[in-house]
Each structure stands twice: as structure tokens, then as C-alpha cells.
Amino acid sequence: MGSGAIAISLPFSCILGLLASMTATTMVQRRYAWVYAVSQFALVVLFAHVFYSLVSYASGQINKIL
């Protein structure tokens, strides 16, 4: 699977992050709703980027070993 699995799962994680943000906006004060939603969405994108980098690095190391 490797990086192909992350490329497939990234859009789904972004959509889930967006849905979670939209759900969470009903639970915070209206003044801070978009700040909260944007920060959650940014965290999803950040974690996806970090994990993509880790998987690509790990697959490179595995290929060197094999």
C-alpha cells in the first residue's frame, strides 16, 4: 500500500475534519466558531502531511534494506 493508501485517505480525512469542524461550531460561541473550525481543519491537514512524510521516509528505508 505505502504512500498510495495515504493519497487515497487524505481527501477523506479532510472531509471528516471539515464535518467535525462544522459539528463543533454548534458547540462553541458564535464569535469563535470559524476560528475553531479553521484550526481543526488545519490540524487535520498538518497531521496528514506529517504522516505522509513519515510513511515515505519509512518506505525508502525499507527499500534500502531489501
Output the nine-digit C-alpha cell for 51.
504522516
Contact (CB, 8 A) for 51 and 13: no
Higher-pLDDT residue of 5, 58:
5
CA distances to 1, 3, 52, 60, 63 from 66, rounded to whole Å, are 16, 18, 21, 10, 5
- Cβ-based burial of 21 (10 A; exposed 0-12, middle 13-18, buried ≥19): buried
Global pTM reads 0.47
pLDDT value of residue 2? 63
pLDDT tens, 9-64?
Answer: 878 888 887 887 778 777 777 787 778 778 878 887 888 888 877 777 666 666 66
pLDDT of 1: 58
C-alpha cell at 60: 525508502
Residue 59's pLDDT is 66
The pLDDT, as a whole number, for residue 20 is: 79
